[in-house]
Structure 1
Amino acid sequence: MPELLRIANQATALTLSGGASLAPVDVAYETHGTFDGSNAVFICHPLTCDAHVAARGPHDDPGWWDVMVGPGRPIDTRRHFVICANVLGGCSGTTGAATRAADDAPWGARFPDVEISDMVAVHRRLLAALGIDRLHAVVGPSMGGCQALQWLLDHPADADRFVIIAGTARPSADNRAWNAVARHAILSDEGYRGGAYAPGPGPLAGLATARMIGHLTYLSETELERRFGPSAAGPHRGPSALASYLDHQGGKFVRRFDANAYLTLLGAVDRFDAFSRRSAVTTTPCPPRVLLVSLSGDRRFGRAHSEHIAAELAARGVEAAHHHETGSDLGHDAALLDQPELAARVADFLDLDTIQSLPRTGHAT
């Protein structure tokens, strides 16, 4: 179970990017390993994940990134002190639409708009409360990569290196179109009730459909064909098998996620435009090291997104290594799956001895 820490109260309210003041703010987080003063790695989670990045032992529930985080894993908890926190606006412990406002009623649709930069601000307050003033690394896949990028731009001195896996600096029109259809599915469900639904029932059908829409974009066309096309084996073949698979994904999702929280996070991603304003990274005398990872078959944030980030960072004096994962064509979801090529690249980048042998002003390719 995650721990809960209050990082803002009425006297220390969090001022959001949009100007709203938010208090109280609680953060759900988990840690792994032992902090030695210089080995902290902050993991920023994807859209619908949470603070439980990895199992803490053989009897713990699996985490969403067990393949990457843990003893002997690429982000090795025997060497690194790993922190992962549920984002602001989420629904897994951190303050969001599903938590209670000052009037003791759920925030619901009243919860203010949250930006990626607000999520980073909460992460930084959490670290301050934990007594951590510098990180070995910030790592994030998907929406977590957006958080890592925002962190890099606004607070480059916070970490020695940043890893952005299948992230984006600005969602494409295609990305936002898929999100618009998912949003419509929720808002048009009669159970939504303007966002004032009671905890439990709510717009379950709409939320399930929204998840199905999103899930389709997480798998490559090749992977869908492999699983459900004419050459698929056994019961997985044909249209009914694909429909059943998507129904299953939607059903699982509504048991663990809140519709208003989903809308909050979709909005934050849609509005994200990392390079649209001035950033502190242009003035830092010693830029951090950056690794960008893109994934073959990624229909969300493919190679062009990483190349755009690299070009924009270069224009600001920050060189970035770009690794294009070719060992898999699963698509966006491959970021969270067992991918040996990706795992080895991340482990190498986070390794102190390897990094210290590189010039401070650039990266290995």
Structure 2
Amino acid sequence: MANHNHPYPPVELAPEGQLATVAIGDLATEAGAVVVDTHIAYRRWGTPKGDLDGKNNIIIVEHALTGGTEANDWWCEAIGPGKALDTDEWCVICTNALGSCYGSTGPASEHPDGGVWGSRFPAVSIRDMVHAEHAFLDALGIGRVHAIIGGSMGGARVLEWTLLYPEQVDYALVLAVSARASAWQIGIQTAQITSITQDPDWQGGDYHGSGRTPDAGLAAARRIAHLTYRGELEIDERFGTSSQSGENPLGAFREDGQRFAVQSYLEHQGTKLTKRFDAASYVILTEALNRHDLGRGRGGLNKALASSTVPTMIVGVDTDILYPYHQQEHLSRNLGNLLAMAKLSSPVGHDAFLVEARQMDRILRNFITLTHETPSAREVAAERGAYDI
């Protein structure tokens, strides 16, 4: 490994595929709060090669809202030997976002002063998550990465990376997200948050260890969210107006136990999430998406996008209800350094970037090829410097 001018000796990378956490100290949030003794969890596949402060083979993959570090699982067709993100060639690192519940510091984590963070955990923004990741890479002794890739909330983090730390990212791939939260997104996401915070078991956010968890609220939030993750066509084709097997939703009086098939499906999705995700993390991360706005403090959206120097590929889904394709078109028209634009064509909707393996394989391979063929902003600047003698 190369020598580094970092304040601390670099942390050794965890064994391949193993969950590990890195301490990054106290983190001041954009809004003025402090997350003390912050830790960021991660997994990695492949071996780092090259100069960790210069040209190397490191690719950061950013997860979506309720995702975790096991990118080789939720993106199993994309990451691994011989796959588009070939771990024989690349070192792929996936962190867990600040505020999540899969190893990084969040509301369900132990508080240094005792107990669980709970309601003491502050609101965080997408920028706060990126500052935390930057500190994490610094702790590992990594000063620069070949590329950062992410979809949905992960894509929002990628966009912020390109504006906060452009000199440390050679290339970026942004999937199924917008330059800022739209009023519609804030509206539907606030409805999800309210489902949780109005559950009597929420207890002001201090339910951890009480024996009562706001599962009903979290399940309701997920039912709303899931409708925005899937395409209207796909849901209708699968369920239409069918009744759930053995039930009759067309009786003389409406009954909770007499459901349409789609209702049963959404209830299943909601229950499934309550078994694997923390409600307070769901609130924190959804609120971060509400606060997503690249233009804040940067002279407005288009000025912020125009200032971007990192070669960035934008991908959208033609049937995305949550982040409609016109939002990716807006990004591609205004980004200062557009590498390419691609469209995922799928009835599935927003989740297509996780589901459409063949199309994603083509897009990812194309992106990797473009990163080999296109000079990075740093290389362009160095070349210009050479001619300025």
TM-score normalised by length of structure 1: 0.87
- Within the candidate set 315, 318, 328, 1:306 is matched to 328
Aligned to 1:192: 202
Aligned to 2:340: 321
Aligned to 1:357: 373
* SS at 1:78 equivalent: coil
In structure 2, do the counterparts of structure 1 residues 153 and 237 end up closer, same or farther at CA, with 3 Å as the change threshold? Answer: farther
Cα distance in 2 for residues equivalent to 1:29 and 1:272: 23
Matches within 5 A, 1:1-365: 1-8=18-25, 13-37=26-50, 38-54=56-72, 63-199=73-209, 201-229=212-240, 240-278=260-298, 287-313=309-335, 317-326=336-345, 328-351=346-369, 354-358=370-374
Deviates most, 340-349 or 226-235: 226-235
Cα distance in 2 for residues equivalent to 1:355 and 1:194: 47
* SS at 1:24 equivalent: strand
Cα distance in 2 for residues equivalent to 1:304 and 1:51: 30
Cα distance in 1 for residues equivalent to 2:30 and 2:244: 51
In structure 2, do the counterparts of structure 1 residues 321 and 193 end up closer, same or farther at CA, with 3 Å as the change threshold? Answer: same
Deviation at 1:319, TM superposition (A): 2.6
Aligned to 1:59: none
Q: What is the one-letter code of the residue matched to 1:140?
A: G
In structure 2, do the counterparts of structure 1 residues 236 and 214 end up closer, same or farther at CA, with 3 Å as the change threshold? Answer: farther
Aligned to 2:3: none
In structure 2, do the counterparts of structure 1 residues 345 and 236 end up closer, same or farther at CA, with 3 Å as the change threshold? Answer: farther
Cα distance in 2 for residues equivalent to 1:21 and 1:337: 37
Q: What is the one-letter code of the residue matched to 2:19?
A: P
Aligned to 1:57: none
For the 8 Å contact 2:244–2:264, the answer to whether it is kept is: no
Alpha-carbon displacement from aligned partner over 1:157-199 (angstroms, at most 9, x marks no partner): 2121100000111121211111111111111111111111134
Q: What is the one-letter code of the residue matched to 2:362?
A: A
For the 8 Å contact 1:142–1:167, the answer to whether it is kept is: yes
For the 8 Å contact 2:63–2:150, the answer to whether it is kept is: yes
Identity of aligned residues (%): 36
Cα distance in 2 for residues equivalent to 1:332 and 1:193: 32
Q: What is the one-letter code of the residue matched to 1:156?
A: P
For the 8 Å contact 2:199–2:214, the answer to whether it is kept is: yes
TM-score normalised by length of structure 2: 0.82
Deviates most, 194-203 or 288-297: 194-203
Deviation at 1:155, TM superposition (A): 1.2
Cα distance in 2 for residues equivalent to 1:235 and 1:359: 61
Cα distance in 2 for residues equivalent to 1:294 and 1:337: 14
Deviation at 1:233, TM superposition (A): 12
Alpha-carbon displacement from aligned partner over 1:205-260 (angstroms, at most 9, x marks no partner): 01111111101110010010111115999999995221111111111101111111
Deviation at 1:80, TM superposition (A): 0.7
* SS at 1:105 equivalent: coil
Aligned positions, number? 341
For the 8 Å contact 1:156–1:280, the answer to whether it is kept is: no
Deviates most, 269-278 or 203-212: 269-278
For the 8 Å contact 2:244–2:261, the answer to whether it is kept is: no
In structure 2, do the counterparts of structure 1 residues 303 and 189 end up closer, same or farther at CA, with 3 Å as the change threshold? Answer: same
Stretches of structure 2 that go unaligned for 5 or more consecutive residues are 1-17, 51-55, 250-258, 378-389
Stretches of structure 1 that go unaligned for 5 or more consecutive residues are 55-62
For the 8 Å contact 2:306–2:334, the answer to whether it is kept is: no
